Structure 1
């Protein structure tokens, strides 16, 4: 079995199939991410389409043939990355002296806040195109990497990183002004910000209050739930599966407890069309509430 993930899939056109009016030919516009690099298409392949991104995704139908998917595609051109103000220390100097030997070396680029705490990390290839005295002066150097890799942050992450540079947030709802992409970048930082302190025993019982005024998308929902349970800048899952894992314990809070969800109608309406499991047909909001209740959480919607 081989599967491919269709990213940002949009139905461009559809028409009845010429050989069977009960079937349709559908043209999709989508990016393709293959989960397996090597495979041979069988002589008589069968295709099935699944809707959703979780393990509970339901079948959306079968196709007798697929055209345009299994074709060679040119690799995208590498996008260089500039490292500004690098200290000329080993092993960086060794890579500069022997750049060809470093082409396949990979390094972790750590993003630190002003206190030296790690905010994020990225993996980049140490294939160096050039080096020169830094625009920042002194003994620093600026380095150009041939390819910055696939993990480079989006532009939406820039203001998030700038805000977290001062340290993890101490006030609630600082994520609220950002759009969906920005809130997702916010969640990226929460996954790492609180790993350094030794984990504390899970707390159970009591009542937690969720401020639902800004829960207008999936990332916002998980930002708000984490703040309600653990406080600003904390992590308690970033999507359905991760949230389910957190409810099993080990992240600071474990059921049973009471969650009072204020202004819950905002999330109910905003997420009404977000359906992960096509079989049960529940919206993302309803699915999260049901999951909480299954794990022993008393959910009060206000």
Structure 2
């Protein structure tokens, strides 16, 4: 019986098959994604607090802020608000965003200025500014804001003061999604040599290959080739390459299921926790089968019994539109693209009946989403977005 070749390396320039193999050491790693962030302690030095920050310090307002924005400025003895206008590129290029922030302490500033040193707890959003947060920018102070604005606007910020420096923010950190271990292709067709610049594709049992994207590219050189224990006439190939964004070990059962043909019935995702529902949506996206949108006039039925979180909604609407394991977006951008412009499986303007919608109404409520690190997308938000994109939505 032929050995199943599960993975295919496609030449990055030509798209031709470079090699096929049965498995890959270094693709699945013994970690769980998304990685939970490490909370840190920061100190705003010589801080002049205002608005909600001042209220958190004096106890007249909540200690928790949500997201906290810090933009650098050259003060020159002036307040930050006067030293850096709202459209200052330098401010934003040196900016940092802290997530899930709360005030945990304050005391008179050590420099005797009469200002305050204010302790915050939170974590830094991963971004490239300031060399990935490792080097403090060459500025003489920072202006501070919370986002979204206190009035609830997601497009505005609320200024909360300024400070002369920040302790605890700029330093090296472990990678949130570190590269995998060295790659060994197991049970390969022979012939791969030299330099490898390839995209990785997952191959279903029916031979359909699904490219996995930039995070799973294989760039390196062949360093060893030897007989494989997988089967006769196959070889194991060791590369000096690492997968930039490896898959989690708990991803493997999902990928094995899709390889075998995909979910065999609806709601198989319902027993998963939210992190694994997120992985389900990613696997559905990776294994999407492209086809023309179904004709206009079709009515879709969303089974809402298990829509208890944001990712569950995308599991459910993907199945409503495209059947078990189907994909109709995994975030608000792709929901809009698919609903408003098509190419997601349904002709825009479609009618959808959301059954048991009260489940989502009960669970998708205002708050702070500690997966997206943004204000939670509520049931009412989703209903509004779908309506604005032309979906004829009926709630039951």
TM-based fold match above 0.5: yes
1:289 and 2:391 correspond: no
1:254-265 paired onto structure 2 within 5 Å: 254-265=347-358
Asked if the contact 1:258/1:298 (under 8 Å) is kept, the reply is yes
Q: Secondary structure at the match of 1:244?
A: helix
Which has the higher relative contact order, 1 or 2, with Cα contacts under 8 A spaced 6 or more apart?
2
* Shift in CA distance, 35/172, structure 1 to aligned 2, threshold 3 Å: farther
Asked if the contact 1:50/1:58 (under 8 Å) is kept, the reply is no
In the alignment, the residues of structure 2 paired with residue 245 and residue 45 of structure 1 have an alpha-carbon distance, to the nearest angstrom, of: 41
In the alignment, the residues of structure 2 paired with residue 222 and residue 161 of structure 1 have an alpha-carbon distance, to the nearest angstrom, of: 18
Q: CA deviation at 1:164?
A: 0.8
CA distances 1:200-226 after superposition (whole Å, capped 9, x unpaired): 256434532210111122221111112
1:144-293 paired onto structure 2 within 5 Å: 144-196=238-290, 199-201=291-293, 203-251=295-343, 252-273=345-366, 275=368, 283-293=377-387
Could you say which residue in structure 2 is the equivalent of 1:66?
166
Q: Secondary structure at the match of 2:385?
A: helix
* Shift in CA distance, 81/60, structure 1 to aligned 2, threshold 3 Å: farther
In the alignment, the residues of structure 1 paired with residue 240 and residue 382 of structure 2 have an alpha-carbon distance, to the nearest angstrom, of: 43
1:18 and 2:108 correspond: yes
Q: Secondary structure at the match of 1:235?
A: coil
1:83 and 2:181 correspond: no
Question: After the TM superposition, which segments of 4 or more aligned residues of structure 1 sit over 6 Å from their partners?
Answer: 20-23, 74-78
TM-score (norm 2): 0.60
1:132 and 2:226 correspond: yes
How many residues are treated as equivalent by the alignment? 281
Could you say which residue in structure 2 is the equivalent of 1:99?
none
Asked if the contact 1:48/1:59 (under 8 Å) is kept, the reply is no
Q: CA deviation at 1:292?
A: 1.0
Q: CA deviation at 1:157?
A: 1.2
CA distances 1:69-88 after superposition (whole Å, capped 9, x unpaired): 33355876862233211221
RMSD, aligned α-carbons: 3.5
Asked if the contact 2:187/2:230 (under 8 Å) is kept, the reply is yes
Q: CA deviation at 1:23?
A: 8.5
Q: Structure 2: where are the runs of 5+ without partners?
A: 1-91, 370-374
Could you say which residue in structure 1 is the equivalent of 2:199?
108
